[in-house]
Amino acid sequence: MIYVVGSSNTDMVVKSERLPGKGETVIGDKFLMNPGGKGANQAVSAARVGGTVNFVCKVGNDLFGKQAIQQFGIEKIHTGYITIDDVWSSGVALINVDANGENCISVAPGANNYLSKDDVSPALEQIGDEDILLIQLEIPLETVVFSVTEAARNNARIILNPAPATTLPDHIYRNLFLITPNETEAELLTGVKVTDEISASEAADWLLTKGCENVIITLGSKGAFLRNKIEKRLIASPKVTAIDTTAAGDCFNGALAVAISEGKDLVEAVSFACKAAALSVARMGAQGSLPTRHEVDAFQS
């Protein structure tokens, strides 16, 4: 079982030729409204590629929240640990995407900001040593630290995707089976500017010294750098034409968790996750871009 603890948002996406500058209005040519949020994206990604997923989140008692829960059910995600907040609205993200697939995002977290220890405790009481906890940072850091600590106490394997980037308490690292920052997040955590394989290795070594068992630094179209006591290698990503990179990292993490839960070694798991992420960037949207297991298995780069 994969337990995903994280955020749920509704994404409102405008695609235009370029991203607006400060104080500038750019006329777009396409509007999409999609379910999103890093936690929800990763839960859906994992479910679509064959994972059994429990999603733990908080949504508002509003149309967006009700639609989200309904959609999770369609994706065959277990929704028994989702909390409904009667005070705060569901999270919303405003996303601009340019012609090259690059994006800028503004988020109103709403109920996500109030996902508490009490909200996640019922799920964490059930997690065990055959389970995986996949967690990100779009919820309160206090809840993240509590979730990691409790899951570690129950001997679950913990995957932390440290996004959006923020500093972390030192003691959290030693409980992590795996940490998966991108270049920007790795630099914020380690102080090492990641620009290539050599600098990725330096940043990964810093994270290993903090106590992480395994490190994967995602490098966009170049793939992902894997580092642990045995492996030290760049795993290439298939080449595709990027249309929208919005949920690529979430797709990668969800697929990675499933591959690990199926017993694949980390090299195989990263390769599988890179294929899933490559498929996602070739499509518009967040959850709408996430591939199925059949698509990933059939993908030939």
Flag whether 196 is marked binding. no
Flag whether 38 is marked binding. yes
Flag whether 301 is marked binding. no
Distances (CA, A) of 285 to 80, 96, 200, 239, 288: 26, 11, 29, 19, 5
* The one catalytic residue among 131, 196, 250, 265: 250
Instruction: Order the strands of the 30-36 sheet from edge to edge.
Output: 30-36, 9-15, 91-97, 103-108
Measured distance CA(269)–CA(250) in Å, rounded: 15
| Phi, psi (rounded to 5 degrees) for 130 | -100, 5
Flag whether 65 is marked binding. no
Q: Is 124 helix (H, G, I), strand (E, B) or coil?
A: helix
User: What are the residues whose beta carbons fall under 8 Å from the beta carbon of 283, sequence distance 6 or more?
Assistant: 243, 244, 289
Q: Look-up: residue for tokens 């065990």? A: 128
Flag whether 110 is marked binding. no
- Indicate if 62 belongs to the active site: no
Flag whether 9 is marked binding. yes
**Contact in structure between 89 and 114 (CB atoms under 8 Å):** no
- Listed as own residue / partner, the contacts of 235-241 with beta carbons closer than 8 Å and 24 or more positions apart are 235/267, 235/270, 235/271, 235/274, 236/274, 237/274, 237/275, 237/277, 237/278, 238/274, 238/275, 238/278, 238/299, 238/301, 239/278, 239/301, 240/278, 240/279, 240/281, 240/282, 240/301, 241/282
Flag whether 41 is marked binding. yes
Flag whether 150 is marked binding. no
Flag whether 60 is marked binding. no
Token pair recorded at residue 225: 């750098």
Flag whether 6 is marked binding. no
Flag whether 39 is marked binding. yes
Flag whether 295 is marked binding. no
Flag whether 129 is marked binding. no
Sign of CA dihedral 260, 266, 267, 271: positive
Flag whether 10 is marked binding. yes
Flag whether 11 is marked binding. yes
**Contact in structure between 51 and 76 (CB atoms under 8 Å):** no
Flag whether 249 is marked binding. yes
Residue set of the binding site for ATP? 182, 218-223, 249-250
Would you list which residues are annotated within the binding site for substrate? 9-11, 37-41, 138, 250
Catalytic residues: 250
Q: Which residues are annotated as a binding site?
A: 9-11, 37-41, 138, 182, 218-223, 244, 246, 249-250, 280, 283, 285, 289
Residue ranges for the binding site for K(+)?
A: 244, 246, 280, 283, 285, 289
